[in-house]
A and B are shown apart, each in its own frame.
Chain A
Amino acid sequence: MIKIENMTKIYGSGEAEVRALDGVSLEITKGEWVAITGPSGSGKSTLMHIIGCLDSPTSGEYWLNGAEVSGMDDTQLASVRNREIGFVFQSFNLLSRVDALQQVMLPLQYQRGDKRLPRNERAKRSREMLELVGLGDRTHHLPTELSGGQQQRVAIARALAQQPSILLADEPTGNLDSKSGAEVMEILHRLHREQGLTVVMVTHDPKVAAQAQRVIHFQDGLIVEPQQQGVA
């Protein structure tokens, strides 16, 4: 479902040139749980952002569900982000001063075409999603009234609201204590198991990475040792 070929991402130029991705090729199939690890600056987050269509590569090809993403314009990318991708950030990135229910409804506003949910069903979907992450009783809480773990669960509910085919998580437990982190991981596992969600996750925590079906290790913009593991 994800196919990347010979991708490079270069920041700056001349002396200051940084090759964040230096010719990466990779394939991820539907329903897979993949962890991307590596030291900071190795290019794992850059790859994640490109997969999530938040950033564009300098060169190389990126196919998502059979469509070539690397040639798309801004509007098409917005559509792909909305339909195919749910993104969970390390720092949650919730809107301040907006309650949990509306946070989750946010991506639903931007739906277009036949997947678009009628307005009156969005609150219902949003509530279902919050229940799915165990926050059914926190629908009208503002981010400041929620713990870190709860905020990240709202973010997961939001990422899944428009039923994307892939969930991308960039250090989802990075800002959480171990207990909240474990709760978040538990939710991701459940979603992966029960809904067959494809999960790609960046982490530098070996314990978190070990829970994935496959770990891709990055170093200096290159994949160094693709590893195959059993189901965690």
Chain B
Amino acid sequence: MDWIESLTTAWNGLNANKMRSGLTMLGVIIGVAAVIALLSIGQGVQESITGSITGAGSNLLFVAPGSFQMGGVEAPSGSAASLTYADAQAIADSRNVPDASIIAPEFTGNTQVIFGSANINTKVTGATPEYLTAFGMEVSRGRFITEGDVSGRGAVVVLGSTAASDLFGGFDPIGQKIKISMPGAAGGRVSLTVVGILSPQGGSRFSDPDNAIIVPITTAQTKIFDGRNAQGESVVTSVNVVVGNEERVDAITSQITTLLLRRHGFKPGEEGDFSVVSQADLLATLTQVTNILVVFLGAIAAISLLVGGIGIMNIMLVSVTERTREIGLRKAMGARKVDILTQFLLEAIILSLAGGAIGIALGVGIALLVNASGVTHAVITSQSVMLAVSFSVAVGLFFGIYPANHAAGLKPIEALRYE
């Protein structure tokens, strides 16, 4: 038999049993499509999460008050009022931390923001003018918080682009007054004038800056929230430090740590009541989390492959009786073992390749659909395609040839009598 003839025989064999061929191919298709789709989604989620961190720049440091312990229950980091505005000013002093280029303290809390009938519960950030440059934000209309706003506890507010459209819908927010609830027992409202709108920026730093509602830090500390500790010092929830030279991140981390340990009365080397976290640290932590996600999706994909493989195996083993008799007959007509194996190998190759191709198309299609839906981001990698195809083709080939190999080794009469 030559190749064309072997191919024709294999094709006729597949064509004569469309149901069996289709079901076998389905196993390959499901396996390949599931692996490609799931791995693409895992990869996409990982990239979009880490991308948002690195997008904010890897030269950022966050100084946050250390969490305090209460009866073994650890309160969330930032809940202790241990980081004061004076600490932030000390960090900003270039004699203490020479390499820090921008210091942007903030006081952030959650509360209700009201305009007319629009009422959103959101995060309100008290900031200084440095905040804008620290996070690479841009003002699209109006202005940002000024030094004057900060020193005068100005009743002004700057809105992120999404926050502006959520509150005001279509019309111009500049000059309008919004009300912000004072949380706690007092329960009053503060009225603020909108002075600026930020340009849309996209996600970064976990929270969406487009949703930001930014007021002068002093306004947040005194008018909206209660930003004082037991000693009556005004406190901050975080100090954002932009490092001029990325290579100096570690040096500055230790400079700030030393400074704050001294200011808070700890001995050098002790664990203080604050933490200094770099963007890289956050990235490392998040990467661990997303790696678990990728492994999890990979495990689901592996199960899909297994199920697909079992599907192929079932079809092949169920048809083994019929096929064994066919092999017996072909041998009785003068087929050699090699003729039989060639035919079955080609059948398996055709099924695996066709199934693989359809599976790739389906998997890529699902990934693109996920992308288009906007639910999450999916990134198709060549590794996931190769993994899926090679595994499924291997399963297809193995289970395609395995029963045939046994039957081809039988004497014709044994194969013909097989039941």
Q: Which residues of A contact B (CB under 8 A)?
A: 49, 52-56, 74-75, 78-79, 81-83, 87, 89, 93, 95-98, 102, 106-107, 109-111, 119, 158, 162
Contacts and interface: CB of A to CB of B under 8 A. Distances in A.
A107 B332 CA distance: 9
B16 interface: yes
Closest 7 CB pairs of A and B: A82-B334, A97-B16, A107-B333, A54-B413, A110-B334, A54-B412, A78-B336
Interface residues of B, number: 25
Interface in B143-194: none
Nearest to B9: A109
A106 B412 contact: no
A109 B329 CA distance: 13
Contacts of B9: 109
Given A81-B412, A119-B5, 9 more contacts: A54-B332, A54-B411, A81-B333, A82-B333, A83-B334, A95-B326, A106-B333, A110-B334, A110-B335
A97 B336 CA distance: 23
A97 B414 CA distance: 23
B329 A93 contact: yes
Most buried by A among B325, B332, B416: B332
Interface string B314-326: 0000000010011
Contact of B334 (A78, A89, A96, A98): A78
B16 A111 contact: no
B337 interface: yes
Nearest to A87: B332
Contacts of A97: 16-17
A217 B352 CA distance: 53
Interface of B: 1, 5, 9, 12, 16-17, 322, 325-326, 329-339, 411-414, 416
A102 B333 CA distance: 13
Contacts of A98: 12, 16
A173 B12 CA distance: 30
Given A55-B411, A119-B5, A102 B12 contact: yes
B334 A111 contact: yes
A81 B331 contact: yes
A75 B334 contact: no
Contacts of A102: 12
A78 B335 contact: yes
B336 A95 contact: no
Contacts of B337: 74-75, 78
A62 B65 CA distance: 98
Contacts of B1: 109-110
